[in-house]
Amino acid sequence: TRSTRPQRLLKVVQKRATRGDPQSVISAVDHFCRHSEWAMNVGDEKGSILDSVVSELSPEKVLELGTYCGYSTVRIARLLPPGARLITLEFNADYAAIARQVIAWAGLEDKVQLVEGASEDWIPRMKEHYGIETFDFVFLDHWKDRYLPDTKLMEDCGLLRKGTVLLADNVICPGFPDYLEYVRNSLSYKSCYFKSHLKYTKAEDGLEKSVFLG
């Protein structure tokens, strides 16, 4: 049977990228998406905004919602300080299998814990299963109608602390109006919008950075 897009993306990574070199993995995926097939990863333009937020924060404990093929996982993990940990949640087994191999090809498996399961099931288990007190940084990039319920769930589970940064992909396209209204109007968040473009196109998109105020 015909291969899937994630399988083709992995082949390009293994063909064009150097094992253990995260930057070459990022470039290989960008090349694949720009020249061969469109895929729903954050892309290079928004990716560099993600890079600057992570570099400035230097977070120890990171949560990513929606691994997909691991592109943003690699972008984040490559910038983490020694000893820092990234937990990424992905409930599609096929995507998780591809992402594991992409993360391993980048040589970042020691920093990344890919959990195959649903965010709503695993957010409540973060403390007892992974010994997480609170997260320093959360990247939201899963189903758009799940950003708000999962953010409220993280609040309820006490996983956010004063200063925790939430960064959400796709403010415009596909968009998540309910989450945006919440973080922009809630007294518990200080929110700002990083305008960008939908990867490799002229269409506007952006990232919403929201700091939890406790």
Ligand X SMILES: CNc1ncnc2c1ncn2[C@@H]1O[C@H](/C=C/CNC(=O)c2cc(-c3ccc(F)cc3)cc(O)c2O)[C@H](F)[C@H]1O
SS (H, E, C) the chain: CCCCHHHHHHHHHHHHCCCCCHHHHHHHHHHHHHHHCCCCCCHHHHHHHHHHHHHHHCCCEEEEECCCCCHHHHHHHCCCCCCCEEEEEECCHHHHHHHHHHHHHCCCCCCEEEEECCHHHHHHHHHHHHCCCCEEEEEECCCHHHHHHHHHHHHHCCCEEEEEEEEEECHHHHHCHHHHHHHHHCCCEEEEEEEEECCCCCCEEEEEEEEECC
Taking CB under 6 A as the rule, does residue 7 contact ligand X?
A: no
CA dist 65 and 67 (Å) reads 6
Nearer to ligand X, 21 or 132 (CB): 132
- The first and second tokens of residue 191, run together, are 């929110």
Taking CB under 5 A as the rule, does residue 169 contact Mg ion?
A: yes
Taking CB under 5 A as the binding criterion, the range among 79-87, 108-116, 161-169, 200-208 that sits at the site for Mg ion is 161-169
Residue 198 interacts, among ligand X, Mg ion, none and using kind-specific CB cut-offs from 5 to 8 Å, with ligand X
Taking CB under 6 A as the rule, does residue 75 contact ligand X?
A: no
Nearer to ligand X, 20 or 174 (CB): 174
Taking CB under 5 A as the rule, does residue 208 contact Mg ion?
A: no
Among positions 72, 73, 88, 119, the unique one binding ligand X when judged by CB under 6 A: 119
Residue 92 interacts, among Mg ion, ligand X, none and using kind-specific CB cut-offs from 5 to 8 Å, with ligand X
Tell me the residue number closest to ligand X, measured at CB. 66
Taking CB under 6 A as the rule, does residue 142 contact ligand X?
A: yes
- Cis check: omega of the bond before 174, within 30 degrees of 0: yes
Taking CB under 5 A as the rule, does residue 170 contact Mg ion?
A: yes
- The first and second tokens of residue 202, run together, are 């002229």
Taking CB under 6 A as the rule, does residue 196 contact ligand X?
A: no
Among positions 32, 71, 91, 182, the unique one binding ligand X when judged by CB under 6 A: 91
Among positions 95, 176, 182, 212, the unique one binding ligand X when judged by CB under 6 A: 95
Tell me which residues touch ligand X (CB under 6 A). Answer: 40, 42, 66, 68, 89-92, 95, 118-120, 141-143, 146, 169-170, 173-174, 198
Tell me which residues touch Mg ion (CB under 5 A). Answer: 141, 169-170
